[in-house]
Amino acid sequence: MTEYDYWKIFPRMPRKVTIGDITIRDGFQHEEKFISTAAKIFYAEEMILAGCREIELTNLGNPAGIPQFRDAEQVLSYFRSDRFLKRIAKKGIKPEDITYTAVTIREPAVDRAIELKNKGIGLDRILMMVSTDPEHHFANSGTTLSMYWKEAERCIQKAADAGIKMCGTVSTIWGSPITGATRLEDAVEFTKRWLSIGAYDIEHADHDGSASAAQVYRYFSMILDEIPVPEVHLAHFHETKRVASASVLAALQAGITRFEGTLGGLGGQPANFLDDCPMRGTGEYYYKDPRYVGLITMEDLLVMIDELGIEHRYDVDRVLWLGEKMEKTIGRRLRSEAIYNGRTLKEGHMEFARPGLKKLIEKQGEKPGQLVPADWAPRATLPEKYRARS
């Protein structure tokens, strides 16, 4: 007989997940207009109040290359302020339960994170990144892989001495926008390299929407066979072909318990234009139309996870409300379907029912809830050619 219980078919599939929000950093980095400091603080704070406990707040790289984050210190200061601490205390949220992250691709950014930590407004966790494609890695960091591994090793030790955790990101796992196909085995080895030099956790990143569900399941199964500690692994999916939800499901089936997304599916490469001025970014965009790239949509991801019956901590309706507001902040229609079409409600939408069915049932002499004619057998008899063979 076919097994109908999803969790018996996929015994590693979790009943509870952690979903981080990276709207303020990864989402806003692709925008070609400056998002105000007030807006960054508003959305980050509201996501925390909605249930987020892992949140990326900024990028500490040189503002000359990523001016979207020239307000990094102001944003970080707010989340260590008395005003914020009092607000979350009223909601029963403990500050120590929230992990604040910033991206620190190169050593000067790591040094800046340590300085901010010493000033009392620092991060709990920072992030460095390698790509399994050397060309993509060079485009992001300006170094060879060998140079970068040595730099990362130094930075992990520095960060640890300052009480900051390091997340090691492995990118281009399922393909590179520059050189194409990559090897899953290289990404598994890079994961081990990160952990061997002291990384706290690993972000496994599909940075251009290359992943397919079958390859995602294969990769994360390989990872958990080699490193069977689910809390170490974080899945990061981009959306260019509207198939990232299939990748999330495949990762769940393999046993992954940590994910992240952005409101509206914002994100992508660092912008190479801001307001009225061209920027360096990471060079020319990889995509024909940069409006239709980004991460998996937080709103839709949450609805999907919620309707699978998986525990997630969030107030889904509050996040959908935030998604509506984000469209006004950005000034265009974003990629969430859930903020328009809502959740699948068990009680339905009776306001759409046509009047008259009850009277028609009474007129026909039928019983309430009757689904077939009263003189039919209670169960259908299939013709022989359609019957299951034992």
pLDDT number for residue 283: 79
Is residue 358 pLDDT above 90, yes or no?
yes
16 burial type by CB count under 10 A (0-12 exposed, 13-18 middle, 19+ buried): exposed
pLDDT digits (tens, 9 = 90+) for 321-336: 999 999 999 999 999 9
What stretches of 155-305 adopt beta strand conformation (E)?
165-171, 201-206, 233-237, 258-261, 273-274, 277-278
C-alpha distances in angstroms, 92 versus 48, 49, 85, 88?
12, 10, 10, 6
pLDDT in tens, 250-291: 999 999 999 999 999 999 888 889 999 998 887 788 777 877
pLDDT of residue 355: 93
Question: What confidence tens digit (pLDDT) does each residue in 141-161 have?
Answer: 999 999 999 999 999 999 999
Q: Mean pLDDT throughout 27-48?
A: 97
Task: Write phi, then psi, for 154 (nearest 5 degrees).
Answer: -60, -45
With beta carbons less than 8 A apart as the criterion, state whether 284 and 272 touch: yes
The structural domains of the chain, ordered by start, are: 6-341 (3.20.20.70), 358-386 (no CATH)
Q: Are 36 and 28 in contact (CB under 8 A)?
A: no
Confidence bin at 349 (pLDDT 50/70/90) = confident
- Per-residue pLDDT at 167: 98
Amino acid letter, residue 333? R
Closest residue by Cα to residue 153 from 195, 99, 109: 195
Examine the pLDDT at 292 and tell me if it is beyond 80: no
List beta partners, residue 259: 19, 235
pLDDT band at 202 (very low <50, low <70, confident <90, very high): very high
